Amino acid sequence: MSRLMQVLLAVMLLIAVSYYFIGGKKVSASQTSEHPVVVMVTSMGTIKIELDPKNAPISTANFLKYVHEGFYNGTIFHRVIPGFMIQGGGFDSKMSQKPTHEPIKNEAGNGLLNEEGTLAMARTGVVDSATGQFFINVKNNTFLNHRDNSPQGYGYAVFGKVISGMDVVHKIENVKTTTTGPFQDVPATTVVIEKVTVENPVRK
């Protein structure tokens, strides 16, 4: 094999491995090694969130998968607790829960903390039960951080942070809430997540 052919094959191999698919869309390795930004347009304003694929690769890929599928469009912030967090991404405006993909591995031990403005995966009492729902911390919630590997101490996986729109987050935090069927802390006036898209990644 000639030297030229070897070089051409090497280049083709690099191109082939520099892309992979998330939710049916081709994403370059350079993008996912940086910090992609998602734009979340809500009925109360726009929130921009920078994701952290380096420290939370599983949670980030999972979230982007739902984003690319349009899963979050038309969902709501269904649980709002002032001084704690706002939670969304799982129910539509009629409080019907959307079907999801399989649960993912909990990455709470990645060193990222549940501080004000961070984005984390919501889950049940089962450690590895997170699917599509997420929450944004409106204060430093240290009790949600990873302490140990027990079910009680495992914590909640942070995988991003708000870089613009914390005023919108706090507006949502302070809406009047009510009880709807078995659900508590539901905004009395529906807060809709109208659309979530991926912006160009922030170069670090």
pLDDT in tens, 129-142: 999 999 999 999 99
| Side chain identity at residue 51, one-letter code | L
Residue 33 has pLDDT above 50, yes or no: no
pLDDT of residue 11: 38
Residue 27 has pLDDT above 50, yes or no: no
Residue 190 has pLDDT above 80, yes or no: yes
Residue 114 has pLDDT above 80, yes or no: yes
Residue 204 has pLDDT above 60, yes or no: no
pLDDT in tens, 35-90: 899 999 999 999 999 999 999 999 999 999 999 999 999 999 999 999 999 999 99
Domain 33-202 sits in CATH 2.40.100.10:
yes
